[in-house]
Every structure is written in C-alpha cells, then in structure tokens.
C-alpha cells in the first residue's frame, strides 16, 4: 500500500465527508475501510502518557508503538480499542514493519533519541509530533528544519504546549502596541535543574533488567554500562529510588540530555522567538558557570546571546539563568525597581522584558500572565488590541492540520519554527561545552572557531541514525 495515497485519502474523507470505496481500490484493507488517522508512538511512558491520552480522546487509532521499557506498554495496550497494537522495544522495527500504515507518529523519548525517528517519519511522509527540545544538538535541529521544507505535505509540531496558549500572544500585542517601546533585553530564569548536575560519570555497572532494552535506550549515543537506580531513605523514613539514567536523571548528562536549557527553554523562551522572529543568534557566550561541563552539565550557569537588527526592529540580547552558584544562591536577574517599589519580588520562574519605554513581567514557565510593571503603568495602559488568533489547543491544532481541516502551518510550533528555536537554545549548551563565546553567521554556522561546529553534531552510533533522510 502506498503511504502517501492513504494519507491523501484520509485527508479527502475529512474534507469531503465521504467517498466511494470503488474510487480507491488500492487503499482498502482486509479488515475494511478505516477513516481514522493511524498513529504510532516512539515511547509511551512518562511524558508520552499525555500524547497517548490525547490521541485516544481525539479518535486516532494506534497501530504500533515502540517503548524500551516493557513495564510501560500498558500506556497503549490498556486503552480501549488499542489492545491489538503491536509493541516493540526498538523504534526502527516499528517503522520497518508499519511505515506504510502510519499517518502520524509521536516521539517522546529522551532528548538524544528525538532526531532519528523524527527524521525518519518526516522523510517517509508521516506527520510527526516530537517532544521538546526538538533535538539534542544544533545540527540535528537544522536538519529537521530542512526536512520540513523538503517534505511539504507533512504536518509537524514540537511539544511546547505554551505556544498554543494565550500568554505570548498577549505579550506580543503589548509590544506591538508600543507599551514598552523597542525591546532591548529578555531575562529568563528557571528553577531547574531538579535532577543531578555538576558531577562526573559514575563508575561501575549493573545487570540490565529483562524489561529494558538498554541498547535501544542508548540509541545513537556512545554505549556505556547500565546503572540501576539506588535505593535511599529520605528524611521522613520513606524508601525511594534515585535513577542514574532511566527513567529520569538522564536530563543532566551530556550524552543523553540537554540540561535545564533543553528541559525548560522551549517553554520559557518560546515567547522570545514567537514575538521577535530573530533568526539565528549572532553570538552566544557563558557569562558564569558553576564549574565546567564534564559528564554532566554544570550545577548552574548564566548565558547571554545577541540577535541582529532587522528592518522592523533593533537588535536585542537574551540572558538565561539556571541552577545555583558556588555559594548555593540561585542564578537569577536582579529584581527591578518597578517591583521593589511595590514590595514585590521576581516569581520563581519567568521572564523580564526590558524596553526603551518600560518593562514587562511574565510569570511562570508558559508565558503566563504578562503584565506591565509597575501596576500603575498597567492600569494606565489597559489591555492592548487583539492582533492574533487564539489556538484551539496544542494537540488539537496539530491533529486538525493532519486531517486537512486546517492548513499545514495551523500547527504553529511546526519544525520551520521550532527547528531554529531549538538550534538557538542548544547554542547555550554548546557555548558552555566549548567554554567560550561563539560568533555565528546568519545561517547559524560558527565563524570565530570553526572547530566548535564539530560539537554541534554527533555522528550516531552505528545503526542508530535515521532510516531515511530526505532534505
């Protein structure tokens, strides 16, 4: 069966409401015509639960899935109507055996294994939703951006759900209404990491449990021994388990995760890219780091990036704050006078937007509640005119575009947007790993030290790259 023909047929059914089966003899299956989008999952446990649940609620049919930990297979098999889905521990087997059946794939693995299945899906003409950060490296993000352009019938989305919320749209409308003048600086801070960072690689090895495919979990990264979670007793006497890799602590390890930047910047800096449309950064540099990058990212750091002026706006700078300093205090911007005068402090996480005529505070991780400061300025200015359409929801806009109910770009965190955004975010980790300021041209190529471009890409472990790459 030709996969493109089937996807065009499903799209036609949605648009027209019905079609004669005689018109499409090559796409009728033995079990009868199936009008539902057919979905596959690369990972079904942890964060993937939100996606399996959403797809089930929206009426998609799961054909197959890949999950390295068999204890998590219930995330699909326990859902009504999905009991017969075929499960694998290796995502490559899912594509090899079911690629011609799949309309949509969701990728929700650790950061280092996002790229290969996502590139495979897009290159095969399969709609693809990939969790944030879109990729582990700068170059991978650039390649997925190119693949989106080269495969114009494929709908894509990155899983930064705040992009479908109202917050950044309201901030955009304040800025376009000249509420704070020209933007000169963004300061973004987070409470992450909440996993181990700042340490070196732990030695030793443990037997791999029968339920875990360790080879598939490591995937494109260099192979290392499995380590079982430690058991420890907390201050209240409860016995707990602390993982080193699977299922959680991988985020702080360079080979597998992207640290606090990869975990949260696709949420907390999303408004910057949506509002400013900045292109690639001109420079990225680590201003402060709590120790060097070893097997893990530092326990804390402050990173600055600068962006070029365009015909519509002047250049601007961004500042990212994560983790703790050597003295244990958090990296965080100074509280502005506009808040101190009202007895207020900066929230736990958020953004401070500095303009030539004033400032705006954005609370939380998802650009929640942007507000002009001080409160007297907010009362004086009022609410800006609405300029942007609101989204029906992150999953819904993606699924509507997959069905052909809306244009491809209705899925707004598509790879043409989230690819360059992810590349810029990963530049923060790249300059930390390099330990120096990076200068880039407008195509995102490092120019002041070309050898650093090698760190922007990692050759996958043999056999673990994309099965297909069409760019």
- Quick: pLDDT tens for 187-222: 999 999 999 999 999 999 999 999 999 999 999 999
Our measurement of the distance from residue 79's CA atom to the centroid of its chain's CA atoms, rounded to an integer in Å, reads: 26
Q: Is the pLDDT of residue 404 over 60?
A: yes
Measured CA to CA, the distance from residue 41 to residue 67 in angstroms comes to 8
Measured CA to CA, the distance from residue 284 to residue 202 in angstroms comes to 30
Give phi and psi for 441, each to the nearest 5: -90, -175
Q: In which band, very low, low, confident or very high, does the pLDDT at 4 lie, cut at 50, 70 and 90?
A: very low
pLDDT at 159: 98
pLDDT at 27: 35
Q: What is the mean pLDDT of residues 443-465?
A: 95
pLDDT at 250: 96
Q: In which band, very low, low, confident or very high, does the pLDDT at 13 lie, cut at 50, 70 and 90?
A: very low
pLDDT at 237: 72
3-state secondary structure of 317: strand
User: What are 126-172's pLDDT values in tens digits?
Assistant: 999 999 999 999 999 999 999 999 999 999 999 999 999 999 999 99
For the chain, give the mean pLDDT: 92
Q: In which band, very low, low, confident or very high, does the pLDDT at 400 lie, cut at 50, 70 and 90?
A: very high
Measured CA to CA, the distance from residue 107 to residue 48 in angstroms comes to 8
pLDDT at 231: 67
Q: Is the pLDDT of residue 338 over 50?
A: yes
pLDDT > 70 in the chain, percent: 91
Cis peptide before 133 (omega within 30 of 0): yes
pLDDT at 389: 96
Q: In which band, very low, low, confident or very high, does the pLDDT at 239 lie, cut at 50, 70 and 90?
A: low
pLDDT > 90 in the chain, percent: 88
What are the residue boundaries of the structural domains of the chain, listed by start? 3-162+395-415, 163-384+416-471
User: What are 222-232's pLDDT values in tens digits?
Assistant: 999 999 988 66
Give phi and psi for 379, each to the nearest 5: -65, -40
CB 124 within 8 A of CB 442: no
**b/e 212-235 (16+ beta carbons within 10 angstroms → b):** bbbbbbbbbbeebebbbbeeeeee
Pairing of strands 127-131, 156-159: parallel
pLDDT at 105: 98
In sequence order, which ranges of 90-247 are alpha helices (DSSP H)? 91-98, 115-123, 138-150, 167-176, 214-218
Measured CA to CA, the distance from residue 346 to residue 188 in angstroms comes to 11
* CA dihedral angle for residue 39, residue 45, residue 50, residue 51, rounded to 10 degrees: -10
Q: In which band, very low, low, confident or very high, does the pLDDT at 380 lie, cut at 50, 70 and 90?
A: very high
Higher per-residue pLDDT: 21 or 140: 140
Measured CA to CA, the distance from residue 393 to residue 398 in angstroms comes to 8
What are the distances in angstroms from CA 84 to CA 61, 108, 171, 449? 10, 21, 46, 53
Higher per-residue pLDDT: 16 or 109: 109
Q: What is the mean pLDDT of residues 383-394?
A: 98
User: What are 248-258's pLDDT values in tens digits?
Assistant: 899 999 999 99
Q: What CATH number labels 3-162+395-415?
A: 3.40.50.720
Q: What is the mean pLDDT of residues 50-71?
A: 98
Q: Is the pLDDT of residue 33 over 60?
A: no
Measured CA to CA, the distance from residue 272 to residue 307 in angstroms comes to 11
Q: Is the pLDDT of residue 6 over 90?
A: no
Q: What is the mean pLDDT of residues 361-382?
A: 96
pLDDT at 32: 31
Regarding the domain delimited by 163-384+416-471, which CATH topology (the fold level of the hierarchy) does it fall under?
Dihydrodipicolinate Reductase; domain 2 (3.30.360)
Measured CA to CA, the distance from residue 97 to residue 227 in angstroms comes to 31
Give phi and psi for 165, each to the nearest 5: -95, 175
């Amino acid at each position: 069966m030709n996969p493109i023909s089937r996807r065009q047929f499903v799209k036609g059914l949605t648009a027209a409401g019905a079609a004669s089966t005689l018109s499409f003899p090559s796409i009728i299956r033995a079990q009868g015509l199936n009008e539902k989008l057919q979905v596959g999952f690369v990972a079904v446990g942890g964060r993937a639960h939100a996606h399996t649940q959403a797809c089930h609620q929206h009426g998609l049919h799961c054909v197959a899935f890949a999950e390295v930990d068999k204890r998590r297979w219930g995330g699909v098999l326990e859902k009504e109507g999905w009991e017969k889905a075929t499960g694998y521990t290796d995502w490559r087997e899912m594509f090899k055996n079911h690629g011609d059946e799949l309309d949509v794939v969701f990728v929700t693995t650790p950061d280092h294994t996002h790229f290969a299945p996502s590139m495979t899906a897009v290159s095969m003409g399969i709609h693809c939703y990939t969790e944030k950060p879109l990729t582990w490296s700068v170059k991978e993000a650039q390649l997925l951006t190119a693949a989106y352009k080269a495969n114009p019938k494929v709908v894509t989305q990155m899983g930064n759900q705040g992009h479908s919320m109202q917050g950044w749209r309201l901030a955009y409308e304040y800025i376009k209404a000249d509420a704070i003048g020209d933007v000169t600086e963004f300061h973004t801070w987070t409470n992450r990491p909440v996993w181990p960072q700042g340490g070196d690689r732990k030695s030793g090895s443990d037997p791999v449990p029968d339920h875990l495919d360790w080879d598939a979990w490591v995937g494109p990264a260099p192979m290392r021994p499995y380590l079982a979670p430690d058991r420890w007793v907390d201050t209240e006497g409860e016995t707990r388990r602390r993982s080193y890799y699977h299922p959680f602590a991988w985020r702080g390890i360079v080979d597998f995760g992207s640290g606090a930047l990869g975990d949260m910047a696709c949420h907390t800096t999303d408004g910057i890219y949506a509002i400013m449309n900045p292109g690639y950064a001109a420079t990225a540099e680590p201003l402060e780091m709590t120790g060097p990058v070893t097997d893990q990212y530092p326990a804390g750091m402050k990173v600055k990036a600068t962006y070029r002026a365009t015909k519509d706006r002047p250049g601007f700078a961004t500042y990212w704050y994560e983790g703790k300093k050597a003295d244990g205090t958090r990296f965080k911007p100074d509280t502005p006078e506009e808040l101190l005068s009202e007895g207020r402090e900066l929230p736990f996480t958020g953004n401070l937007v500095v303009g030539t005529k004033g400032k705006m505070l954005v609370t939380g991780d998802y650009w929640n509640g942007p507000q002009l400061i001080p409160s007297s300025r907010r009362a004086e200015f009022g609410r800006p005119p609405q300029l942007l359409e609101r989204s029906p929801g992150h999953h819904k806009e993606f699924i509507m575009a997959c069905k052909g109910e809306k244009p491809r770009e209705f899925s707004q965190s598509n790879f043409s947007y989230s690819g360059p955004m992810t590349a810029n975010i990963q530049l923060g980790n790249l300059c930390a790993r390099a330990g120096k300021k990076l200068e880039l041209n407008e195509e995102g190529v490092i120019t002041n030290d070309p050898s650093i471009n090698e760190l922007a890409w990692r050759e996958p472990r043999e056999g673990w790259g994309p099965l297909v790459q069409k760019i």
